[in-house]
Chain A
Amino acid sequence: MDCSAAARPNGSRKALLLLAAIVAALPLALPNNYAYEVAILVALNALACVGLNLLVGYAGQISLGHAGFFGLGAYGSAILAARYGWPAWGSIPVTLAGVALLAWAIGWPILRLKGHALAMATLGFGIIVAIVLATEDRLTGGPDGMAVPPLPGIQGEKTWYWVVGAALLAGVWLAQNLIDSPRGRALRALHGSEVAAGALGIDAARHKVAAFVISALFAAAAGALSAHYAGFITPGKASFLHSVELVTMVVFGGMASTFGAVAGAAVLTTLPHLLTVFKDYEMVLLGAVMMLTMIFMPRGLVPTLESVLAAARAKPR
C-alpha cells in the first residue's frame, strides 16, 4: 500500500476553491439539457466516490458493495415519498438516518474481516440489497423500477445542476475536514498498520466503523438525490456492476485523494457517453482505456498528474 499517499496532507483550500470555480463556470460550456444531465450524473457519482475514497483510500478498507448504500438511499427516499406521501424534505434525512444505523450495525461484524474476506462480505451485502430491492415488487416496483416524486421547488436540469454542485462542494469540504482532523489522522494511521496504530492507542474497530458509516452516508445521499432528479429508480443502481464502477472511479482517479475521486468520477461517467459513437466497439474501447490508464498511471490520474507537475516545477532552470 502506498503509505506516502495517505500521509500527505490532503488538499489545500486552493483546490476546493478551484473546484468551486469549475462548478460555477461549467454551465458556460454546456450547450443543452443533455450536457447538463451528464454534468449532474458526474457530480452525483463524484459525491458517492468522495465518500468511498474515505473508506478505501484513507482507511484502507475495501468495499465491493457500496452501490448497496446508494440503492438504499435512493429507494428509501423514493418509497417514503411515493408510497407513503412523505415530503421529500422529510424522506431524505430519515432515509440517511436509517442507512447510517444499518451501516453501523453491519459494520461491526464485517469490518473485523480483512482483505479478500472483507471484499467478499461487502460484495455479499451489495448483492443481498440488490436482490431484495428487485424481489419485493409490491413495495419497490421490482426489477423495472418505480417512479419517484420530484423535490418540491427544484425543477429542470439547470436548477438541479446547482443543487447537486452545492452538494458535491459540501461533501468535498466535509471530507477534507474529516481527513485533516484527529479522527482522519487516526484513519490514515490505521491504513499504514493496524497493529502499530493500536500500539498508539487508536481503537481500530471504532474508527473503521466510523469511516464505513460516513462513506455509506455519502453514497446514500448521492442515491437519494439521483432518484429524485431522474424521477425514476431501478434496482440496477444497487448492483454489483455499479459497485465495481464506483470503486473503479476511485482507484482510477487516485486513492487517498479527494479530488482524485472527483476526477475519476468525471472521466469514467463521461467516457461511455463519448464512446457511444463507436457503437459495437464501445465495450472493447472502455476496457482498453481502463487497462491502459491503470498500467501507465498505477497510482491513479490525479496523483500521477501531481507528480508530473511537481517534477516539471522542480526542473533546474
Chain B
Amino acid sequence: MFLRILFTAAALACALPAAAQPIKVGAFLSVTGPAAFLGDPEQKTLELYVEKLNAAGGLLGRKLELVAYDSAGDAEKARGFVKRLIEQDKVDVLVGGSTTGETMAAVPLAEAAGVPFISLAGAVVIIEPVKKWVFKTPHTDRMACEKIFVDMRARGATRAALISGAGGFDRSMRAECLKVAGKHGVEIAADETYGPGDTDMTAQLSKIKAAGVQAVLNAGFGQGPAIVTKNYRQLGLTLPLYQSHGVASKQYVSLSGDAAEGVRLPAAALLVADTLPDADPQKKVVVSYKRDYEARFKQEVSTFGGHAYDGLMLAVDAMRRAGSTEKSKVRDALEATRGYVGTGGVVNMSAQDHMGLDLSAFRMLEVRKGDWALVK
C-alpha cells in the first residue's frame, strides 16, 4: 500500500513539470532580406496572438511560447534554424517558411523528425504530392492562375500575355499559369520576364502590345509589379491587367498611384473585410483580425500576416481537438480540420488535401478610386 502511494506520488511529480512546461511553437520567417514584406507581418501576427492566447488562459492548461528565427529568405539559413528548432528548442509544432524555397528546404527535416509543419508559402509543390507532416495555409499559385483565367474568360478574353519577374514566387506562378491556361481556354501568346531591381519594363510591354492579346497577367512580387503597372499606363495600354495575390496590399496601390485603377487580382477576403456583407462566413474573423492587428501595430493589415494567423490558429485548434501536444495526434487532428473559418477562407482538410481551400476562398478584387472593391 505504501509502495503504491509512493509510486503514484512519483508519477505525479514527473507529470507536474510537464504540465508547467509551455507549448512551444517554432517559427522561421523571412523578417529581413528580400522577403521581409512577408516575414515582418507574419512575425508580428504570431507574437500578437500568442500573447492574446496566453492572456486568455493558454492552451490545455499550459502557456504558449513562440520561438522565432529570422531566415532572411535564405533556404540554407532556414534549414539551419529548423534543425535548431527541432533539435535544440524541441518545439511541438512548426509554423513558418515565408517563401517556397525556405519551406522546401525544411520539408525533409520535418518529415524525418515527425513534427507537424504548417507552411506560410505559396507554391503548389508544397502540398502536391501530399507529405504526411506538411500543411499550408496560403492559397496556391495555381489557384491564383485559375481564378484569373476564369475571370478573363468571363470578360471575353481568350488570348493573354504573361509577364513575370525572376524571383521564386514569380517563376513558380508563371509555370503554373502556363500549365493550366489551356484547361481554361486561354492561349498564352507572349511570355516576358524582367530582372530583380529592374527600373523599366517598357521594352517587354511593347512586345506584349504588339502580340495582339486581350489581357495581361503580371505574376510578380515586390516593386516590379508597381513599375509594370506604371509602365502599362505610360504606354497607353488599356487591356485588362491582372496582378497576382503577391501584391494584394495597399502598398501596391499607393506605389502605382492612378495607374492601378481598374487592375484586378485574386485575394483573401481580409483585404475587403469592412465591405463584406454581414452574411459572409468570414466576416467576423477577418474584421476582428484586422482590428486587432491595426490597433497594435498601427500598420495596414496584410494577407501574409493573415496566413500566419491561420497557421497558428489551425495548430491551436488541432491541439485542442487532439487534447494533447503529442505530434502524431496533432497531425491527425490537423488533417481532420473541417469547416474552420480563417482569414484565407473556410478550411476543409483531408488526407489528400493539406491546404483545405477551394477556388471560392479567393475573391476577385478590383482597384477602384485607390481602394479594393469586390468584383461580383
Contact = CB atoms under 8 A, between A and B. Distances in A.
- Whether A and B touch directly in their complex, counting CB atoms under 8 A apart, is answered as yes
Interface of A: 31-34, 37-38, 41, 131, 134-135, 137, 142-145, 147, 230-232, 234, 236-237, 272-273, 276, 279-280, 282-283
A280 B32 contact: yes
A144 B74 CA distance: 10
B163 interface: no
Interface centre among A37, A38, A147, A283 (most CB of B within 10 A): A37
Contact of A232 (B31, B75, B166): B75
B227 interface: no
B106 to A, nearest CB: 9
Contacts of B69: 276
A232 B104 contact: yes
B83 interface: yes
Contacts of B87: 32-34
25 contacts: A32-B87, A32-B88, A33-B87, A34-B84, A34-B87, A37-B80, A38-B80, A41-B76, A131-B166, A134-B171, A135-B193, A142-B175, A143-B171, A144-B99, A144-B100, A145-B75, A145-B101, A145-B105, A230-B76, A232-B104, A234-B101, A236-B101, A237-B76, A276-B70, A279-B31
Nearest to A135: B166
Interface string B181-214: 0000000000001010000000000000000000
A37 B83 contact: yes
Contacts of A234: 75-76, 101, 105
A230 B166 contact: no
Given A143-B101, A280-B32, A34 B88 contact: yes
B257 interface: no
Contacts of B104: 144-145, 147, 232
Interface of B: 31-32, 69-70, 74-77, 79-81, 83-84, 87-88, 99-101, 104-105, 108, 123, 125, 166-168, 170-172, 175, 193, 195
A79 to B, nearest CB: 17
How would you classify the secondary structure of chain B's contact residues: helix, strand, loop or mixed? helix
Contacts of A147: 104, 108
Closest 6 interchain pairs by CB? A143-B168, A144-B168, A32-B87, A34-B84, A142-B171, A34-B83
B123 A232 contact: no
Nearest to A272: B77
B171 A282 contact: no
A231 B175 contact: no
Contacts of A131: 166, 195
B250 to A, nearest CB: 23
Contact of B166 (A38, A143, A272, A279): A143
Contacts of B167: 143
Interface centre among A135, A144, A276 (most CB of B within 10 A): A144
A59 B77 CA distance: 32
Contacts of A135: 166, 171, 193
A279 B81 CA distance: 13
A33 B70 CA distance: 19
A1 B153 CA distance: 67
A232 B88 contact: no
A295 B27 CA distance: 37
B171 A232 contact: no
A280 B29 CA distance: 13
Nearest to B88: A34
A282 B80 contact: no
Given A41-B80, A232-B79, 16 more contacts: A31-B88, A32-B87, A33-B83, A37-B83, A41-B76, A135-B166, A137-B175, A142-B172, A143-B170, A144-B100, A145-B104, A147-B108, A237-B76, A272-B77, A276-B70, A280-B31
